[in-house]
Amino acid sequence: MSEIVGGIFTSHVPAIGQAIARGIQNEPYWKPFFEGFAPIHDWLSRTKPDVAVVFYNDHGLNFFLDKMPTFAIGAAAEYRHEDEGWGISGYKPYPGAPELSWHIIEQVVAAGFDPVTCQKMVVDHGVTVPFELCWPGTDAWPVKLVPICINTVQHPLPSPARCLALGRAVGDALRRWRGSERIVVLGTGGMSHQLDGTRAGFINVEFDRFCLDSLAANPEALAAHDTLDIVELAGSQGVEIINWLAARGALGDAVTELASNYHVPISNTAGASLLLEAKATVHA
């Protein structure tokens, strides 16, 4: 019998990877952010997940403005980091879980979603930075990867409510999976930030706090916002919070918040991490 053990939510800005590569995690600018992962490391050492289902957004690596799927799911046996020099080097391949990926794809299509299926896929800092944050200094990744990509770049964007529903469909698929894996769900991106235009450097602490406060107990409060409302509230890149919302949906209704951390600014963004433990079991 497999089990969803919980969810980890984190920023994935490339500068985090650069800080790791340079070994400056304990410098005053970065230390408050990296310290937030101590309870996450402890939790991972106890729960020992076998698979990470990661909701993130592609940054022009697999998809660009001329071809931008709303949702895409990786079904490869292996993924490699090819992030064009951003963040950290991709020297460790990411083992896939293709059978589980196909199961998720089949189940979410049956639930009314139409993801693009990627039997070949590379990953960028949306995946690699969170992996380095969660499992630092490892020779090989201790989990298999199922990447689920959400469009946060090219309008029209999926609504927060639609992303929450996608996450719930993925969670239902995991609960139907006939396996023995321990599964952790990751939501990556955000929080509030804007990288260009007249609002470059924009951070909305109040909205970020609302997101952190709502995700565990009341994700519907965040899902009630329109996508363009979130762009206005959190910045054009802050809309990546919909990745967090999808990951939250996959965990099911019953969760316990174990850790939360918020630090501004890091690389003109609001950096945060959140750890939720799931109470539901995936029944084979």
Report, as residue numbers or ranges, the catalytic residues: 125, 193
Which residue, among 90, 88, 92, has the nearest Cα to 13 in the 3D structure?
A: 88
**Which H or E element spans position 250?**
helix 241-250
Coil, strand, or helix at residue 231?
helix
Sign for the pseudo-dihedral over CA of 81, 86, 88, 89: positive
Sign for the pseudo-dihedral over CA of 237, 238, 239, 240: positive
Six-digit token string for 265: 């600014």
Residue 45 backbone class (left: φ over 0; alpha: ψ -120 to 50; beta: rest): alpha
